[in-house]
């Protein structure tokens, strides 16, 4: 079962910035245990561009599709047997990243 | 009630959870299991009066429900290959390694009380899947529209399936935390029954307290060595024992100190005391230290051991609250401790402790009830009246509001 694991940061109360070594070690473990599918940290939301080509002409807009205090800072994709395992790893991930984590199954 | 009706009612009570659990295990789908179980019971209602009650009602219901489930799956997967259909005929799941406890119903309970579901969803799902209450009954119990309750349960079943919430008893290392999650659900059901909220409900919802006790007994049978399960059951029994004395003929709440103790249910009291003694012995023999439910049960055992409120061993009650505060330093526990302190050290000492809780408990009716009573005992009528006003404004229980209004109006 695949889950999208989102790391959520808070603009007014951001998590600590020294987490990279711990995150790398956690990733190594995910890989060794066979749960790791993909991982990536995201650049700031200000760097986003939204494209809407539903009408006659494609419209590009600068900035994220929704401005919010909380935003997506990074993602993982994990392959694990069930939600219990996903939640167990996400509980550790939240400590490791010092940020909130959302776990959402793929269809 | 006719003999057949009685057989159906008792089969429902005894077999519903077992049938849902067995089907969920076999088909891996709560929705199919629930619907097929409901259909099986409906056909029992139709057929048993004419055909007679089968010698093994549980077996009959499981077989019937299995057939209904297979029919539904066939209808929904006509385009699927024959091989898949053939698989449905045989229950050839490899046997799983036995966990700490091997009962299908326990898997069902742990799935319904999964921490990834919202608390109110866990309550609704447990009452439906394990308790066998209808959606309409659950909706009525929690004062929501039947359609809203139906949606809540459907959403939960969808999440369990889509997010793959596992259908199993948690591993030993996760068991204590997960059991405590299950107990929290049952305690919430019990408390909603015991102090029902809403202007149009009965002050005590006997159906909910009874159901909570029945489900806790089931967990106790499945996990007999768990001290907190025994503690919660004892707590519920000792509380339920006082039910008849708790609301007066005129519909007013009667506080513990003013209850007719002769009206308490002696059988429930005896069973509750037995469980508390069993836990005390287990702890004395070197077992795990008691958790909050065991301590609350012990406090209730002290109260129910006194033939007259004046015989209450208040120092024991305060000592138990001290123990509870160490485990659960919440303001609500501190408030209840203060109520016992008032009996031991007087209302002035208690009021000082209660006033320290003003900030966290400003919106909690029991805080204002306690202040009103202490201020009344100290002769501060004006302040007491204001506290009663606030308590009445916040209390949701009709019998309690009636009691508080009378108390307020008796102030000099």
- The rounded distance, in Å, linking the Cα atoms of B244 and B260 is 9
B115 interaction partners in chain A (CB closer than 8 Å):
87
DSSP reduced 3-state for A9 = strand
Length of chain A: 107
User: Can you tell me the distance from the alpha carbon of B25 to that of B40, in angstroms, rounded to the nearest whole number?
Assistant: 17
Per-residue pLDDT of chain B (412 residues; tens, 9 = 90+): 788 999 998 899 889 999 999 999 999 899 999 999 999 999 999 999 999 999 999 999 999 999 999 999 998 877 566 555 555 554 444 444 444 445 788 899 999 999 999 988 999 999 999 988 889 888 877 778 999 999 999 999 999 999 999 998 888 888 888 998 899 999 988 988 887 666 666 677 777 899 899 999 988 988 898 999 999 999 999 999 999 999 898 888 899 999 999 999 999 999 999 999 999 999 999 999 999 999 999 999 999 999 999 999 999 999 999 999 999 999 999 999 999 999 999 999 999 999 999 999 999 999 999 999 999 999 999 999 999 999 999 987 888 899 999 999 998 7
B165:A105 CB<8 A: no
Report the CATH fold assignment for A2-105. Alpha-Beta Plaits (3.30.70)
The burial class, CB within 10 Å (0-12 / 13-18 / 19+), for B1 is: exposed
Q: Is the CB of A102 inside 8 Å of chain B's CB atoms?
A: no
CA dihedral sign of residues B363, B369, B375, B379: positive
Disruptive mutation site among A81, A84, A101, A105 for chain B (greatest number of B CBs within 10 Å)? A84
- Give B133 to chain A, closest Cα distance, Å: 27
Model pLDDT, residue B93:
46
DSSP state of A16: P
Residue A87 touches chain B, beta carbons under 8 Å:
yes
Q: Which of B18, B216, B40 is closest to B113 using CA atoms?
A: B216
Which pair of tokens denotes residue B325?
Answer: 């505060």
Whether residue A83 and residue B162 make contact (CB cut-off 8 A), yes or no, is: no
Alpha carbon distance, N-terminus to C-terminus of chain B: 53
Query: From CA B104, how far away is CA B19, in angstroms rounded?
Result: 9
In order, the DSSP letters of A75-92 are: EEEEE-SSHHHHHHHHHH
Please give the share of chain B, as a percent, with pLDDT higher than 70: 92
Give, as one character, the DSSP assignment of residue A14.
P
Mutation to test the A interface, candidates B116, B161, B163, B177, most A Cβ within 10 Å: B163
Q: In this predicted model, what pLDDT tens digit does every residue of A15-68 receive, in sequence order?
A: 999 999 999 999 999 999 999 999 999 999 999 999 999 999 999 999 888 889
Write out chain A residues lying below 8 Å of B170, CB-based: 84
**CB neighbour class for B317 (10 Å; exposed up to 12, middle 13-18, buried from 19):** buried
Measured CA to CA in angstroms, residue A93 lies from A14, A23, A27, B64 at distances of 16, 8, 10, 46
Asked if B404 and B385 touch (Cβ cutoff 8 Å), the reply is no
Instruction: For B69-78, write each residue's pLDDT tens digit.
Output: 999 999 887 7
Taking CB atoms and an 8 Å cutoff, what residues of chain B touch A103? Answer: 163
CA distances from B185 to A2, B120, B213, B235 (A): 30, 9, 12, 15
Nearest to A105 among B114, B162, B166 (CB): B162
Per-residue confidence (pLDDT) for residue B96, from 0 to 100: 46
């Amino acid at each position: 079962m695949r889950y999208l694991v989102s790391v959520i940061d808070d603009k007014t109360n951001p998590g600590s910035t020294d987490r990279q070594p711990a995150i790398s070690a956690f990733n190594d473990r995910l890989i060794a245990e066979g749960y790791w599918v993909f991982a990536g940290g995201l650049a700031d939301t200000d760097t986003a561009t939204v494209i809407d080509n539903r009408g006659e002409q494609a419209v590009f807009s600068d900035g994220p599709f929704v401005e919010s205090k909380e935003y997506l800072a990074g993602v993982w994709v994990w392959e694990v047997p069930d939600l219990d395992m996903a939640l167990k790893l996400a509980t550790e991930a939240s400590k490791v990243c010092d940020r909130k984590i959302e776990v959402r199954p793929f269809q | 009630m006719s003999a057949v009706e009685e057989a159906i009612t008792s089969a429902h009570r005894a077999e519903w959870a077992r049938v849902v659990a067995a089907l969920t295990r076999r088909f891996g789908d709560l929705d199919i299991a629930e619907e097929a179980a409901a259909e099986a019971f409906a056909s029992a209602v139709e057929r048993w009066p004419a055909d007679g009650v089968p010698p093994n009602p549980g077996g009959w219901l499981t077989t019937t429900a299995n057939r209904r489930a297979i029919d539904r799956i066939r209808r929904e997967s006509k385009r699927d290959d024959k091989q898949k259909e053939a698989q449905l005929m045989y229950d050839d799941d490899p046997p799983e390694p036995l966990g700490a406890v091997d009962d299908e119903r326990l898997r069902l309970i742990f799935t319904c009380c999964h921490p990834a579901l919202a608390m109110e969803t866990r309550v609704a799902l447990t009452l439906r899947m394990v308790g066998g209450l209808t959606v309409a009954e659950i909706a009525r119990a929690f004062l929501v529209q039947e359609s809203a309750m139906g949606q809540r349960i459907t959403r939960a079943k969808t999440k369990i399936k889509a997010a793959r919430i596992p259908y199993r008893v948690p591993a030993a290392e996760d068991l204590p935390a997960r059991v405590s999650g299950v107990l929290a659900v049952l305690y919430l059901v019990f408390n909603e029954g015991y102090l029902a909220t809403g202007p149009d409900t009965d002050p005590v919802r006997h159906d909910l307290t009874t159901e909570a006790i029945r489900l806790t007994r089931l967990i106790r049978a499945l996990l007999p060595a768990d001290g907190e399960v025994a503690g919660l059951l004892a707590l519920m029994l000792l509380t339920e024992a006082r039910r008849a004395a708790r609301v007066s003929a005129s519909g007013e709440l009667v506080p513990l100190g003013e209850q007719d103790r002769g009206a308490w249910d002696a059988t429930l009291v005896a069973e509750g005391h037995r469980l508390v003694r069993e836990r005390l012995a287990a702890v004395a023999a070197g077992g795990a230290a008691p958790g909050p439910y065991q301590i609350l049960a012990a406090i209730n055992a002290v109260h129910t051991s006194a033939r007259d409120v004046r015989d209450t061993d208040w120092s024991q009650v305060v000592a138990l609250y001290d123990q509870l505060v160490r485990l659960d330093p919440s303001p609500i526990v501190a408030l209840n401790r203060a109520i016992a302190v008032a009996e031991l050290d007087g209302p002035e000492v208690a009021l000082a402790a209660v006033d320290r809780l003003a900030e966290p408990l400003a919106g909690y009716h029991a805080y204002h009830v306690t202040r009103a009573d202490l201020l009344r005992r100290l002769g501060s009528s004006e302040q007491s009246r204001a506290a009663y006003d606030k308590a009445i404004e916040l209390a949701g229980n009709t019998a309690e509001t009636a009691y508080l209004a009378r108390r307020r109006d008796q102030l000099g």
